[in-house]
Amino acid sequence: MEQLLKRRRQLLALAAGTLCGGASFAAFAQNLFRTPAQSLGPFYPETPLEKDADLVTVSGQTGIAKGEITHLSGRVLDRNGRPIKDVLVEVWQCNAYGRYHHPRDSSDRPLDPNFQGYGSTTTGESGSYAFRTIRPVPYPGRTPHIHFRLVGRGFQPFVTQMYIAGHPQNERDGLLRSVGDAKARSALLANFLPIKAPSGTMEYTAQFDIVLGVTPQQG
């Protein structure tokens, strides 16, 4: 987990520089906006292939997932901007063909044996999490998105979805548009920034902080 976070920080620095610069914590906290909840959806994994934070490789397989590799990370914060540790962060999404690894997804789109479709990790002292996955893709009726579920002490399980900022299909996605307030809706958007990996291939970084409407319990 620490190596994945270190790698993610290095890639993000290449793409976007240091987040927040010299802004004070007080100014940062004032700009926080609570992350809206979203539906769980029908494809929450019943039997994940694996439960680690690297979704683009599967034990026993020699290949790597189809799609554009993305280094996704962020922090889980309380309503005052303080990090929340020991939160289980789960993510799941469709593969690069637009199909979920789920028995109820009956589409004729291909499965990808090298894509887990699900990942999980636990936040550390800084509230940080990190995953290696693919840039989400659309499928009929939905704009690209990644599902999140958070479980921790002091709050009920929280479910939301993350979307690609500026994607042309966002304006036609009913679930995203159901968040009527523009500022609240923007809290569900993440910028996907292209970077060149050490191998020379193009990958992406994305930062998605999740702000819960709670103050974590102490101790």
pLDDT tens track for 178-219? 999 999 999 999 999 999 988 888 999 999 999 998 875 554
pLDDT in tens, 58-83: 999 999 999 999 999 999 999 999 99
SS3 breakdown of the chain: % helix, strand, coil, rounded to 5?
15, 30, 55
- pTM for the model: 0.86
Phi and psi torsions of 10, nearest 5°: -65, -45
Q: Where are the beta strands (DSSP E) in 12-95?
A: 69-77, 88-92
Rounded to whole angstroms, the Cα distance separating 91 from 129 reads 11
Domain ranges of the chain: 2-13+29-211
Print burial letters for 19-34: b (CB count within 10 Å at least 16), e (below 16): eeeeeeeeeeeeeeee
Q: Are 100 and 94 contacting, i.e. CB atoms less than 8 angstroms apart?
A: yes
| CATH class in words for 2-13+29-211 | mainly beta
